[in-house]
């Protein structure tokens, strides 16, 4: 129903090879958000935060679902080119995105303020040494079990989310999603899982919210 945002500028030299092109994981997230539109409207979101926004495709799409003027759309990325691409994608799709270059949400003071939190993380299983780049490798290098970046972020989620806040996380089976779900159950969050096969990958979005 809602069109995929225009990201045709990703073929420009400054973005090509430097910014993650929307792929199956991105599109699974778009589908999940669209199916959840009624739920999302029911929590009356005012501040949305996407960690690792890359092209900005997901936040632009969220903006088209919820309305460009009803929410503040914050986006972070450690890759400077990704932050620039996010701004451009927002402009092209007439969604006011606010990209910030930082590690997760480290530049922001948003305790219990985020209504919709999204992270399509670098989840690919790689040697730990591949982690730490500020360039395109940061889009996929996930270290042991593809969990090293994810595990650094998980303890921040409870503090970021507002009372009715919701967190969407993309994972693959190698990331051991059941362990992630248990982590959130221990802090009293519920989980809903949406799974899809894409080539060799079994991709899921995990949706977490307080009980
Ligand atoms: C798999 S890509 C997802 C891009 C986009 N959100 C999408 O769904 O198409 C992961 C993104 O996370 C960013 N990233 C990796 N580690 C990060 C960190 N510690 N803080 C912020 N962004 C990070 C990468 O630079 C990359 O843009």
CB 112 within 8 A of CB 162: yes
pLDDT at position 15 is 97
Joined together, the tokens standing for residue 177 give 């999603």
The residue range of the domain holding 195 is: 8-210
- Which residue's CA is the closest to the ligand 1 atom numbered 19? 103
Ligand 1 within 6 A of CB of 52: yes
Ligand 1 contact via 28 beta carbon (within 6 Å): no
Tell whether the model's pLDDT for residue 198 goes beyond 90.
Answer: no
Expressed in angstroms and rounded, the spacing between residue 77 Cα and the centre of ligand 1 is 6
- CATH code, 45: 3.40.50.150
Whether 146 is in a domain gets the answer yes
User: Looking at residue 197, what is its pLDDT?
Assistant: 87
Q: Is residue 3 part of a domain?
A: no
pLDDT (tens digit per residue) in 12-44: 999 999 999 999 999 999 999 999 999 999 999
Q: Residue 162 domain-assigned? A: yes
Compute the average pLDDT of residues 181-195: 97
Ligand 1 close to Cβ of residue 30 (< 6 A): no
Beta carbon of 82 within 6 Å of any ligand 1 atom: yes
Note whether residue 1 is domain-resident.
no
Average pLDDT over residues 4-15: 97
Read off the tokens for 113.
Answer: 């303020």
* Separation of alpha carbons 40 and 83, rounded Å: 25
Ligand 1 in contact with 5 (CB < 6 A)? no
Of 123, 139, 154, 204, the one to substitute when testing ligand 1's pocket (max ligand atoms within 8 A of C-beta) is 139
Ligand 1 nearest-atom number relative to CA 134: 25
Residue 31 in any domain: the answer is yes
> pLDDT at position 200, please?
82
**pLDDT tens string 123-169:** 999 999 999 999 999 999 999 999 999 999 999 999 999 999 999 99
CB of 75 closer than 6 angstroms to any ligand 1 atom: no
Residue 17 maps to a domain: yes
The count of domains in the chain is: 1
Confidence at residue 170, expressed as pLDDT on a 0 to 100 scale: 98
- Tokens 């221990």 -> residue: 186
pLDDT at 120: 98
Q: Whose CA is nearest to atom 2 of ligand 1?
A: 139
Pocket flag, ligand 1, residue 33 (CB < 6 Å) = no
Please indicate whether residue 146, judged by its CB atom, sits closer than 6 Å to ligand 1. Answer: no
19 domain-assigned: yes
Cα 69 to middle of ligand 1, angstroms: 25
Cβ neighbours of 115 (radius 10 Å):
21
Q: Looking at the domain assignment, is residue 2 inside a domain?
A: no
Residue 19 CA to ligand 1 center (angstroms) comes to 9
Give strand pairing partners of 50.
75, 118
Tell me which residue has tokens 């993650």: 20
Is residue 136 within 8 A of residue 161, CB to CB? The reply is: no
Q: What is the pLDDT of residues 56-81, one digit of tens each?
A: 999 999 999 999 899 999 999 999 99
User: pLDDT higher for 41 or 1?
Assistant: 41
């Amino acid at each position: 129903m809602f069109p995929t945002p225009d990201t045709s500028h990703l073929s420009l030299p400054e973005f090509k090879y430097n910014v993650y092109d929307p792929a199956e994981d991105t599109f699974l997230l778009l589908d999940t958000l669209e199916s959840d539109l009624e739920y999302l409207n029911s929590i009356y979101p005012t501040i949305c935060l996407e960690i690792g926004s890359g092209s900005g495709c997901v936040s632009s799409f969220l903006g088209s679902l919820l309305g460009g003027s009803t929410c503040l759309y914050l986006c972070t990325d450690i890759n400077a080119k990704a932050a620039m691409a996010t701004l451009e994608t927002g402009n092209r799709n007439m969604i006011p995105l606010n990209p910030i270059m930082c590690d997760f949400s480290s530049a922001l003071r948003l305790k219990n303020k985020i209504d919709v939190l999204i992270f399509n993380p670098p989840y690919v299983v790689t040697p730990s040494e591949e982690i730490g780049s500020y360039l395109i490798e940061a889009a996929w290098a996930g270290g042991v079990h593809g969990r090293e970046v994810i595990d650094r972020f998980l303890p921040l989620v409870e503090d970021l989310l507002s009372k009715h806040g919701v967190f969407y996380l993309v994972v693959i089976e190698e990331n051991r999603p059941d362990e992630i779900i248990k982590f959130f159950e221990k802090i009293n969050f519920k989980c809903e899982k949406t799974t899809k096969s894409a080539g060799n990958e079994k991709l899921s979005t995990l949706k977490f919210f307080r009980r």
